[in-house]
Structure 1
């Protein structure tokens, strides 16, 4: 968790092979899973958010198979220290071809 904006941009570019200037929020988690950094590019520069939980840990993927895109609601849950998969959450509707 020592990297600054430039270091995180380099990780996004070289390791993930993604565009740090894209309309996305890139998340990074510390080894102890109690700190998180978010990197986002706005029209005039980068924004970096850093959050440390007082108690508890973030539910963070442990391997590449667990990495996924989050909805806004899932992102909010993650930042609040909650599980991304809320068992009682109403899932977004999908188009049903049967109707």
Structure 2
């Protein structure tokens, strides 16, 4: 999913995980003023408990939408500032 990615954006704070592709693309476009159809951009969202993330990327003919849930009371270290985006590079998520 991260192949040929130029920008990786983290949606700081938490995202309502009832949102699916349509809701996430609307958030990217309306709230963050970015183009969700940019094929070289990966958007990553985290749930309120920081136990799961969703990744969203346009691949040219549709969206790739992946979810990862952590097991055994593990949590993602996630920026808490609600409503902002962070631009990171591929090395920071490996």
TM value normalised by structure 1: 0.69
| Contact map agreement 2:50 2:76 (CA 8 A) in 1 | yes
- Of 48, 59, 63, the residue aligned with 1:31 is 48
| Contact map agreement 1:35 1:50 (CA 8 A) in 2 | yes
Q: Could you tell me which residue of structure 2 aligns to residue 60 of structure 1?
A: 78
Give every structure 1 segment of 4 or more consecutive aligned residues whose post-TM-superposition deviation is greater than 4 Å. Answer: none
Change (3 A) 1:17 1:2: same
Which structure 2 residue ranges, 5 or more long, are not aligned?
1-16
Which structure has more relative contact order (CA 8 Å, sep 6+)? It is: 2
Partner SS state of residue 68, structure 1? strand
Q: What count of residue pairs does the alignment treat as equivalent?
A: 75
Higher strand share: 2
Change (3 A) 1:43 1:67: closer
Which structure 1 residue ranges, 5 or more long, are not aligned?
77-99
Q: Could you tell me which residue of structure 2 aligns to residue 40 of structure 1?
A: 57
* CA RMSD across the alignment: 1.5
Higher helix share: 1
Q: Could you tell me which residue of structure 1 aligns to residue 19 of structure 2?
A: 3
